[in-house]
Chain A
């Protein structure tokens, strides 16, 4: 494969991703322009009384959640550095990552709301306490839930970057050098590991921020309403039957996306300027700072327990039609929700097929790009990928539907495949770019100098050393595909049904057992994928 890769010109290497991903995506976005050009859309936007407060709320919840998630993941990684608990941590993080956002929001909500489990345990009177725990005006519960839900994502991304075969070797040596200079374990991590880890985490962090600032389903469960986050206002507007209201929604989308892009660009620029100035701090010392093991254990356990509690509560809620306050156990149990869910298996198979094919295809496209293109071109692709994730699915889906309709792709399997590939490839590119580009090319040189053919060297040296990030990216792609709803539903035009389509349409009525059962069901295949990735990706040479 590598020989063929080498023979490919950059143009040939870029062609597949351009045709299958960039063009459809760009064309879908162009389809939205006429509606955005309507002056009426902008007039409606300006007169919307919630616009600015909703925008501030979106940025605050997304930003706060990202900072909180980063702090927690740094604490956990530094504290559990080289501990025996790391593999378990990875499994736990995989479980947390596989759980759909909405599912976690429901489980977490049932823990903290005034009629939730905690209130039942510590208050337990005849009427629930007047707690303001969910839907608080500041969006704090939403922010906390987002941070907890994104923690596994950052951990998985960081662990994949740290487990890179080519990196572990010199990292170990550098650690030894730092330790012999008298640095404590915590200081070694801060000064040696973190600076090498952060560049790989840059795009995952941006994803976390963008996702948090644009999420709809979690905000509907945990977020405030007066005002709601801007994403929720946009969601209502885009959902409307009236094309004029859709236009206002698109204008708001453009506003939110531009603000997010400007913020991300400014932050990255600021970091580029300020980080080199911190270099003197890296050389300072030695410091005896110990690894924050205690705090890491507390943070990790708390997050893990909350995640676990959310999953267990979901399982209970899925068999409990009614569980009134202040009962500590549900009064009756029925498996009606699971029966409804089990009545048809076709959507599950189609979902698995789409998830597997799109994850593999996205991986192939990404590797082809990285192998044939200079690194400088990545930023266009990553920018487009981030735009895909930042734009509300409803908006992109509308443009994509119009495009596919013209091409005769609606209601067909190829159309459905492409609709899934769009977000999957975006995630795979973003996750893989950091670790793949950071590969130490001297390993390849060594292999080639030992007269190993290029293809063998690529497969057995580069791919083998990069196994952890490659498999993690594939698993994340698989999970992303398993969560697709809006674009897929439109493009499928009722001719095909996937598991998320069944799940979302059936939970539109707010039936909690059904929603909980589907959420658990949707979490199972990605969980299997993440566990497989972490097992197969474990370095062989340790």
Chain B
């Protein structure tokens, strides 16, 4: 059943491309195909499997559900997850057993996407045929099409932007460290008040990737496949840096916080000086909810920080693919993206290109500076190729793990 559905869609995609090749008629016919999808989507229920650790994000998804119900007669059910890998395992088991899917849309990126793509667990390509995909800033934000050095190949639709960001209480730390060497200096002057989460926590691994990017001789190596030998050579300065940093860290680098959330709590309680996050607007958001003081400052390292994009994807065995595509398209609309970027709602940066929007749509993105927001954004350093991660984690564990 899954295969027939996919062939059908592939044919449809082929049709769109064929029609697009014939000038004039192309755009209109592609529009007709999309209208067909929208019509089929009516009355369907989309089970959106998404991490649910933030009340603000959950409220935003609930708003999306209301809008879809009103405009497209689609019922959106937020299946709340503590960890996206759970949905990956569920889809894998369902596909192996030949069962219809329990998930229609996944919030996904990175390792989870790589695994699902490799195991052919995703429906598509569909993403670049969505009408609103034309508004995506694929040139300015290349990670909207390359997820952790893996080509998205239209199997996932960009939803929001993420970039490693540090934050602190400006009353305690007026001049933040804008590079890894400056962080080391700070750790030396305030021993025990700096740390990072232990890998394999995702944020911990990202911190190490950031240190790697800032210390390595040739950053051009990052996007390519690497073997153990080349890694050992390339990572030498990284481990020299960490060897120097660790004795100055919290608990002398013998213990680390388990998660980024725990680190944020330790910062809020006053035990640590610097926190880190992947959502540049999280600090401002935490100020808004009262977790952090209004004197909070946020920054990105001067030479750039690791950045990526998060996406939505449709499992290959979804039973509501049309409605899932309409949902993905709505998530890309200027209205939904602007609401998502609003610091009072969620504060997740948009994937759209402002230059491609109409003036009215552009006006929706009113980004007033709020306490805790990043004042001087730095360029994004794309995630290293997937082959780096297991090597980084193994080497780190070997050196500092026991």
Cβ-neighbour of A236 out of B52, B88, B111, B200 (below 8 A): B200
Q: Which residues of B contact A336 (CB under 8 A)?
A: 55, 289
Q: Any chain B CB within 8 A of the CB of A257? A: no
Asked whether, in the complex, the Cβ of A322 is within 8 Å of the Cβ of B90, the reply is no
Q: Which of A142-150, A183-191, A298-306, A492-500 contacts B (4 or more CB under 8 A)?
A: A492-500
Q: Beyond A220-B258, A241-B88, A325-B269, is A50–B401 a contact (Cβ under 8 Å)? A: yes
Q: Which residues of B contact A411 (CB under 8 A)?
A: 102
User: Which residues of A, 319-370, contact B by the 8 Å Cβ criterion?
Assistant: 321-326, 332, 334, 336, 340
Q: Beyond A321-B289, A322-B268, A401-B93, is A53–B402 a contact (Cβ under 8 Å)? A: yes
Asked whether, in the complex, the Cβ of A226 is within 8 Å of the Cβ of B102, the reply is no
Cα–Cα distance between A497 and B77 once the two chains are bound (Å): 11
User: Which chain A residue has the least Cβ–Cβ distance from B291?
Assistant: A321
Interface-central residue, B47, B55, B264, B398, by most chain A CB under 10 Å: B55
Cα–Cα distance between A220 and B398 once the two chains are bound (Å): 21
Min CB gap B305→A, angstroms: 21
Interface size on A, residues (CB 8 A): 64
User: Which chain B residue has the least Cβ–Cβ distance from A31?
Assistant: B93
Cβ-neighbour of A493 out of B90, B116, B290 (below 8 A): B90
Q: Chain A at the B interface: mostly helix, strand, loop or mixed?
A: loop
Asked whether, in the complex, the Cβ of B269 is within 8 Å of the Cβ of A406, the reply is no
Asked whether, in the complex, the Cβ of B99 is within 8 Å of the Cβ of A405, the reply is yes
Q: Which residues of B contact A401 (CB under 8 A)?
A: 89-90, 93
Asked whether, in the complex, the Cβ of B401 is within 8 Å of the Cβ of A49, the reply is yes
Q: Any chain A CB within 8 A of the CB of B94? A: yes
Min CB gap B9→A, angstroms: 24
Asked whether, in the complex, the Cβ of A494 is within 8 Å of the Cβ of B79, the reply is yes
Q: Which residues of A contact B96 (CB under 8 A)?
A: 402
Cα–Cα distance between A323 and B271 once the two chains are bound (Å): 12
Min CB gap A207→B, angstroms: 25
Q: Which residues of B contact A505 (CB under 8 A)?
A: 51-53, 80-82
Q: Which residues of B contact A53 (CB under 8 A)?
A: 402
Asked whether, in the complex, the Cβ of B261 is within 8 Å of the Cβ of A242, the reply is no
Min CB gap B174→A, angstroms: 16
Asked whether, in the complex, the Cβ of A511 is within 8 Å of the Cβ of B97, the reply is no
Q: Which residues of A contact B49 (CB under 8 A)?
A: 494
Min CB gap B277→A, angstroms: 11
Q: Any chain B CB within 8 A of the CB of A194? A: no
Q: Which of A127-135, A171-179, A417-425 contacts B (4 or more CB under 8 A)?
A: A127-135
Cβ-neighbour of A489 out of B86, B88, B258 (below 8 A): B86
Cα–Cα distance between A236 and B260 once the two chains are bound (Å): 15
Asked whether, in the complex, the Cβ of A226 is within 8 Å of the Cβ of B53, the reply is no
Q: Which residues of B contact A340 (CB under 8 A)?
A: 55
Q: Which residues of A contact B55 (CB under 8 A)?
A: 336, 340, 506, 511, 514
Cα–Cα distance between A53 and B112 once the two chains are bound (Å): 29
Q: Which residues of B contact A232 (CB under 8 A)?
A: 258
Cα–Cα distance between A268 and B297 once the two chains are bound (Å): 59
Q: Beyond A224-B255, A497-B80, is A324–B52 a contact (Cβ under 8 Å)? A: no
Question: Which range contains the number of B residues in contact with the other chain?
Answer: 35 or more
Asked whether, in the complex, the Cβ of A241 is within 8 Å of the Cβ of B112, the reply is yes
Convert B42-86 into 0s and 1s, putting 1 for each residue whose CB lies closer than 8 angstroms to a CB of A.
000001010111110010000000000000000001011111111
Q: Any chain B CB within 8 A of the CB of A293? A: no
Q: Which residues of A contact B77 (CB under 8 A)?
A: 494
User: Which chain B residue has the least Cβ–Cβ distance from A510?
Assistant: B261
Cα–Cα distance between A494 and B90 once the two chains are bound (Å): 11
Asked whether, in the complex, the Cβ of A324 is within 8 Å of the Cβ of B269, the reply is yes
Q: Any chain B CB within 8 A of the CB of A163? A: no
Cβ-neighbour of A494 out of B47, B54, B260 (below 8 A): B47
Q: Which residues of B contact A50 (CB under 8 A)?
A: 397, 401-402
Q: Any chain A CB within 8 A of the CB of B334? A: no
User: Which residues of B, 343-402, contact A by the 8 Å Cβ criterion?
Assistant: 397-398, 400-402
Q: Any chain B CB within 8 A of the CB of A200? A: no
Convert B81-117 into 0s and 1s, putting 1 for each residue whose CB lies closer than 8 angstroms to a CB of A.
1111110111011101101001100000001100110
Cβ-neighbour of A508 out of B53, B116, B271 (below 8 A): B53
Cα–Cα distance between A405 and B102 once the two chains are bound (Å): 11
Min CB gap B81→A, angstroms: 6
User: Which chain A residue has the least Cβ–Cβ distance from B197?
Assistant: A225
Cα–Cα distance between A271 and B397 once the two chains are bound (Å): 40
Q: Any chain B CB within 8 A of the CB of A501? A: yes
User: Which residues of A, 231-248, contact B by the 8 Å Cβ criterion?
Assistant: 232, 236, 239-243, 246
Q: Any chain B CB within 8 A of the CB of A512? A: yes
Asked whether, in the complex, the Cβ of B264 is within 8 Å of the Cβ of A506, the reply is no
Q: Which residues of B contact A236 (CB under 8 A)?
A: 200
Asked whether, in the complex, the Cβ of A225 is within 8 Å of the Cβ of B290, the reply is no
Q: Beyond A509-B54, A510-B259, is A322–B254 a contact (Cβ under 8 Å)? A: no
Asked whether, in the complex, the Cβ of A506 is within 8 Å of the Cβ of B290, the reply is no
Interface-central residue, A114, A502, A509, by most chain B CB under 10 Å: A509
Q: Any chain B CB within 8 A of the CB of A372? A: no
User: Which residues of B, 251-298, contact A by the 8 Å Cβ criterion?
Assistant: 251, 254-262, 264-266, 268-271, 289-293
Convert B298-313 into 0s and 1s, putting 1 for each residue whose CB lies closer than 8 angstroms to a CB of A.
0000000000000000
Question: Could you pull out 8 A-B pairs where Cβ atoms are within 8 angstroms?
Answer: A49-B398, A128-B271, A137-B255, A325-B270, A410-B102, A494-B49, A506-B58, A509-B53
8 extra A-B contacts, CB within 8 A, seeds A325-B271, A510-B53 = A50-B402, A114-B271, A128-B270, A137-B255, A221-B258, A226-B254, A405-B94, A511-B54
